[in-house]
Amino acid sequence: MLYVGIGEICTQDYKTFLAKGRVIGAERETFPDKYPKRLILQDGQLAEFFLGKKGMTTNFILYETDDPKQLLNLQTFWLPEIKYTFIPIFHVSEIKEAWEKRWG
């Protein structure tokens, strides 16, 4: 299943944010099933531009997983530097099938 992960980034924790980014990168290599797969990666310069601003900023990344626990692992890892909201993306065929099943 696909999810849009919308993250509110707290830039006061910029150094911690960068350090944790390196940690999760290593964890993704060692434990590839611990976190959801990222389908759209952020451009490093773009992220650095937004993180250079004061206060909160919002970003989004497209994730893929069939295990909701991976989303929980990601959210738990990043707190309090990033507060995520995950929104599922349904394929039109799945919505049509569910609608026909219910109202058919």
Paired with 78 in beta bridges are none
CATH code matching the domain that covers 2-103, chosen among 3.90.228, 3.30.70, 1.10.3470, 3.90.25: 3.30.70
In the chain, what are the domain boundaries? 2-103
Give pTM, 2 decimals.
Answer: 0.75
Question: Are the C-beta atoms of 70 and 34 separated by less than 8 Å?
Answer: yes
Residue count of the chain, please give it. 104
Per-residue pLDDT of the chain (104 residues; tens, 9 = 90+): 999 998 887 767 677 878 898 999 999 999 999 999 998 765 454 555 555 555 567 778 899 999 999 999 999 999 988 889 999 998 888 888 888 998 97
Task: Give the pLDDT score at 104.
Answer: 76
Task: Give the pLDDT score at 11.
Answer: 63
